[in-house]
Every structure is written in C-alpha cells, then in structure tokens.
C-alpha cells in the first residue's frame, strides 16, 4: 500500500483497512468484504490485500460485485425451465 494516497478520498478509514494487510482475518476463517461508493479505491485495496495473501502462500479469488452479480444472474437463468 506504499503507493496508496491515504489523503484522498477523505472517507477511507485507514485504521480499519491497514489491519487487513496483516491477513489476520484468514487465521480466524473470516472473509473480507470491501464496500463503498465509486472511486474510493476499493479495487486497489482489495488487490493489494489479495497480493499479500498470495505472497503468504494463500489462494485468492478476486471478484468485483458486478462480476459476481453477473455470475449469479447467469447461473439462475440456467435453472429456469
């Protein structure tokens, strides 16, 4: 996260985000969901955390909300008779 501008946008809660980079949520079997309005840096933050997890030997599945919803929509259509 060295290249992340914590000064913009002002709504980013740095004390909430930085602990996620330690990957402690993985040891407790918890998921991490990054949500907020457009343009806050959610994708960049999620990718940085995912990269840290891969470097630590974990597998990662990265999906944006639109991608996930498109998959769900596609799957539900496949079951309509």
Tens of pLDDT, residue by residue over 4-51, are: 666 666 667 778 888 888 899 898 888 888 888 888 788 888 888 999
The whole-number pLDDT of residue 4 equals: 65
Domain range annotation of the chain: 14-78
CA 18, CA 10: separation in Å to the nearest integer? 15
Question: Residue 2: which pLDDT band, with cuts at 50, 70 and 90?
Answer: low
Enter the pTM of the model.
0.69
Q: Which is higher by pLDDT, 79 or 55?
A: 55
CA 57, 40, 25, 3 dihedral sign is positive
């Amino acid at each position: 996260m060295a290249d992340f501008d914590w000064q913009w946008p002002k709504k980013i809660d740095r004390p909430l985000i930085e602990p996620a980079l330690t990957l402690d949520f993985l040891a407790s079997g918890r998921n991490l969901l990054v949500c907020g309005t457009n343009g806050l840096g959610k994708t960049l933050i999620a990718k940085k955390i995912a990269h840290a997890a891969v470097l630590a030997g974990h597998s990662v599945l990265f999906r944006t909300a639109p991608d996930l919803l498109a998959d769900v929509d596609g799957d539900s259509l496949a079951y309509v008779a």
